[in-house]
Amino acid sequence: MRVQDDFTNCENNVPMDGQVAIVTGATAGIGFEVAKNFAKRGARVIIGSRNPVKMEKAKNAIIQSSGNTNISTRKLDFGSLKSIRRFASEIYMNEPKLNILINNIGALGLPDRQTKDKLNLMMQVNYFGAFLLTFLLFPLLRTSAPSRIVNVSSITLLLGHIDLDHMNDVGRFSSFGMYCNSKLADILFTVEMNKRIQGSGVNVYSMDPGLSKSEFFRDFNDTTLRNVFNAGMLLLGRDLDRVATMPVFLATDPRVQNSSGKHFRDCAEFYSSWFAEDAELTRRLWEKSKQLVNISTEEDWELK
């Protein structure tokens, strides 16, 4: 008998036979557990990550634990818009449908620098990458509807600030501050996308996983801080397989069918930020994001 916890209400037995799901950053942590959960339900699962060795190891572990061999891997680096476009192109070439997209990739403690795409590395990995991937894959999600998108955010969004003219500045924000800004952007993007895709059959949600037993601070350069913070996460965090029930819940459960655009924590709608109610800000962030990731006329389904 399972002990009652914050995720008990998330549990369901919804089958996923015949469905196709992409989980980014699924080589470890929450993403790995989500992919494993989907596989056990019968879904075809595509793991997107930048490390081929880790992806193969995760794939084999998922097959072994689930008995589902319909698991594939594709290289995906959110630090490169070119990589994201290549990944999306491969999906269109090889997958006739896509039912679920879990934007799980995230990192803290990355170097304060701009990428080749002229975006701040922290913002690109934690926000712009998910924005571009979701925008590119939306037409496939729409033709595969009913479909769902889940954006993994963080409680730190409450400390975030969006300055559209300085989102990608180097030296302006601390590493933690930029992380907070990126997680706020994930929420605003979710709210605005929901407005723009009404009636498409695609639902989009955001969620805060809370503390989990993971080495989330692995990218910190300071070895002492990295070890202390990771030890704290492993000590105080919640079990990864339990935390993973929430994105699975949002991706599958009929109880949230009418909650598209909402933010969740521990299986229930949760306050995100008053910024999410600022329709002008969410609109401007959406348009600015399209501009910064260079959405082409051919890619822009809003023009069609």
Please report the pLDDT score of residue 13 as a whole number: 94
What pLDDT does residue 222 have? 53
Model pLDDT for residues 179-206, shown as the tens digit of each residue: 999 999 999 999 999 999 999 999 999 9
> In the chain, which residues have pLDDT < 70?
1-5, 210-237
| The predicted structure's pLDDT at residue 9 | 84
- Options 127, 179, 205, 271, the catalytic residue: 179
Cα-to-chain-centroid distance, residue 218? 18
Q: Which strands make up the sheet holding 268-269, listed edge to edge? A: 71-75, 44-49, 20-24, 100-103, 147-152, 202-207, 263-265, 268-269
What pTM was computed for the model?
A: 0.91
Residue 127 annotated among the catalytic residues of the structure: no
**194 CB contacts (<8 Å, ≥6 apart)?**
203, 204, 260, 261
79-101 per-position pLDDT tens digit: 999 999 999 999 999 999 999 99
DSSP string, 123-147: HIIIIIHHHHHHHHHHHHHHHT-SE
Closest CA to 39 of 63, 57, 61: 63
